[in-house]
Amino acid sequence: MYFLNHPKFPKDSLIVYLGEAVQKGEIVTAPVEHTPLYPEAVELLPEDYVPALIKAGYTTYTDVAIKAYAQSLGNSGSSHTTVNNPFEYQRQRAILLEKLKEAVEKFDLNRVYYARHQLTTDGYDFTRSGYPWAELYGPAVPFLSTSGDDRVSLYLATQQRVPFISVPAERAESYEKRSGTLGHNAHTLYARVYFRLLPAESYTEDGSRVYRTNINYLGLDLYEYPHCAYYHLGSGKAE
């Protein structure tokens, strides 16, 4: 256990349990330099989901959208109180609607976005040097939902897949030794999944809170830990 502080921040301190921090990937013990598959990509965050749906034409400025957006902002319990109290919601509706319209105006459909996703692979393939995607263990892309009781969800729809992620053998070996999964037939890993949102072909409001959202799936970067920031394993293009 380490106790850390810094003279620039005399009121702050940090206690580090070294073994657990290394195990969870919170401390980098073997930095692996890498260039992301799409360096220009930005993360599609929960507060972006409703503006993205509206900008792409999957829904419009309904009360469902306004309430889901308000709760996705996550600014304490005030948004939940506003949404759950119908009288307060009506008083605040015009303000919330204006905020949502501003977010929709700023949202750029032309950008490459990424979402983090838990991904299971088969065991290491020495013939092709990498990990095949284990299709039976889960979807190729994440299912995205806003927070709160009035959540909306994006079912990312695509026929594209990343069937194989190239990973050098020595890199795979170091990961499997560190994680205690040496030689296993399946590995639970984490990915930045890259995509572009595609406009809706038509719009019909049916009251559903789950929106089938078409994407152009571009590829992924594979990592050992959920933060998807370092401990990079390899990359794969969608096909």
**pLDDT tens-digit profile of 55-95?**
999 999 999 999 999 999 876 556 667 788 889 999 999 99
Residue 51 has a pLDDT of: 98
107 within a domain of the structure (yes/no): yes
Using 50, 70 and 90 to split pLDDT, how confident is the model at 31? low
Residue 217 has a pLDDT of: 98
Span of 13-22, 23-32, 117-126 with lowest mean pLDDT: 23-32
Look at the block and give the residue holding tokens 């020595």.
170
12 within a domain of the structure (yes/no): no
Task: Determine the 3-state secondary structure of 65 from DSSP.
Answer: helix
145 within a domain of the structure (yes/no): yes
- With 80 as the cut, is the pLDDT of residue 121 above it? yes
Structural domain containing residue 79: 41-237
Query: Of all residues in the chain, what percent carry a pLDDT higher than 90?
Result: 70
15 within a domain of the structure (yes/no): no
In sequence order, the 6+-apart residues with CB closer than 8 A to the CB of 13 are: 3, 4, 5
222 within a domain of the structure (yes/no): yes
Residue 186 has a pLDDT of: 97
Three-point CA angle 6, 9, 14, nearest 5°: 60
Residue 147 has a pLDDT of: 87
Task: Determine the 3-state secondary structure of 64 from DSSP.
Answer: helix
125 within a domain of the structure (yes/no): yes
Query: What number is the average pLDDT over the span 197-225?
Result: 92
Q: How far apart are CA 158 and CA 196, in angstroms?
A: 11
Query: What number is the average pLDDT over the span 159-173?
Result: 96
Query: What number is the average pLDDT over the span 194-200?
Result: 97
Query: What number is the average pLDDT over the span 95-122?
Result: 97
170 within a domain of the structure (yes/no): yes
Q: How far apart are CA 151 and CA 54, in angstroms?
A: 15
Asked whether the whole model's pTM tops 0.85, one would answer yes
Query: Hey, what are 214's tokens?
Result: 């078409």
130 within a domain of the structure (yes/no): yes
Average of per-residue pLDDT values in the chain: 91
Higher-scoring residue by pLDDT: 20, 206? 20
Higher-scoring residue by pLDDT: 6, 130? 130
At residue 165, φ and ψ (nearest 5 deg) are -115, 115
Query: What number is the average pLDDT over the span 158-162?
Result: 96
DSSP-derived secondary structure letter, 7: T
Residue 238 has a pLDDT of: 97
- With 90 as the cut, is the pLDDT of residue 190 above it? yes
Structural domain tally of the chain?
A: 1
